[in-house]
Amino acid sequence: MDVQDNALGSCYAALGFKSLPFAITPDTSLAFPGPQYVSAYQQLYYACMNGVMAVLSAEIGLGKTFVIRCLLRALPANVKVAYLLNPLLDPLALLRDIQAEFNAGEQPALEQASRLHHALVQRVLQGAAQGERFVIIVDEAHRLSAEALETLRLLSNLETEQVKLISLVLVGQPELERTLSMRAMRPLRERIGVWLRLQPMNRAECGAYVRHRIHRTHQDGSFAFTPAALWLLHWRTRGVPRRINLACERAVLLSSAQPETRRVTWPMVWEACGEFSRVWK
């Protein structure tokens, strides 16, 4: 995001930034090439291109959505993606949304689950014959009902002698793992070929993440966090990327009172993190 598009743009411009370094929106142009994120992206890409079922889980704020956005940008045009953001759907509504996503947003007229399932199967078979691949990505999947999960499992059965025709990616909080560990979920669980779980950044990764964001958004790279500030930042945020972004954004704005120094110090990070202490339990 360009600094001129932000109400606080003048503060960033005075510090030498050409775009916002720590916005919490998933700006894929600032993707951090940390090992676990690169690995998650590569494995999910493989799953989507080869009909493999995958699970990506993580606590709140660790970058699940960011990885998925990077994935969506990279998938080729022949891959049709149903990216479902609302998991609180009954099986009929779930099928309708998937059908609409696979048909450029056109809502199906069918109202029976069995007929919708049949129409969806025909759409996939016809598309596969023309070289298309199909991927269903469900965000917040830990909130899916057992009935919705069973509907997705039945769709994942669709295959030829060589390959699965629909890849399924479930993205959610660790509760998703507990749901899938239930005995009733065994038929679905045994189909999962890729299991991924994101972890908080360690201190070295946190520092590299901050420097990466500054390098990508600053005009000449002269702005920096002091070593003590980075140490404190990791300790207070516990390595959670969303918290790091929030704290860094506030700390950078605090540093704008001294634009000639172009650095964030330990006291600035302490004050910035203190503003979020009530919600960072």
CB 58 within 8 A of CB 197: yes
Regarding whether 230 and 134 lie in a shared domain, the answer is no
Query: Does 95 share its domain with 145?
Result: yes
Answer yes or no: do 61 and 111 share one domain. Answer: yes
- Looking at residue 104, what is its pLDDT? 73
pLDDT of residue 10: 77
Please give the residue range of the domain that contains residue 170.
35-197
CA distances from 73 to 31, 41, 69, 70, 77 (A): 12, 11, 6, 5, 10
pLDDT tens sequence across 170-184: 999 999 999 999 898
Instruction: Tell me the whole-structure pTM to 2 decimals.
Output: 0.90
Task: State the DSSP code for 52.
Answer: -
Of the residues 197, 227, 251, the one at which a domain ends:
197
If asked whether residues 178 and 227 sit together in one domain, one would say: no
Residue 211 lies in a domain: no
* CB atoms closer than 10 angstroms to residue 132: 16
pLDDT digits (tens, 9 = 90+) for 70-98: 999 999 999 999 999 988 888 888 888 88
Asked whether residue 79 falls in the same domain as residue 9, the answer is: no
Using the 3D structure, point to which of 139, 164, 197 is the last residue of a domain: 197
Residue pair 242/61 in contact (Cβ under 8 Å)? The answer is yes
- Is the confidence at residue 106, as pLDDT, over 70? no
Q: Is 71 exposed, middle or buried (0-12, 13-18, 19+ CB in 10 A)?
A: buried
pLDDT at 7 over 60: no
Structural domain contains residue 114? yes
**Mean pLDDT, residues 107-132:** 81
> How much is the pLDDT for 119?
84
Residues 177 and 224 in one domain: no
In this structure, is residue 224 part of a structural domain?
yes
How many structural domains are present in the chain? 2
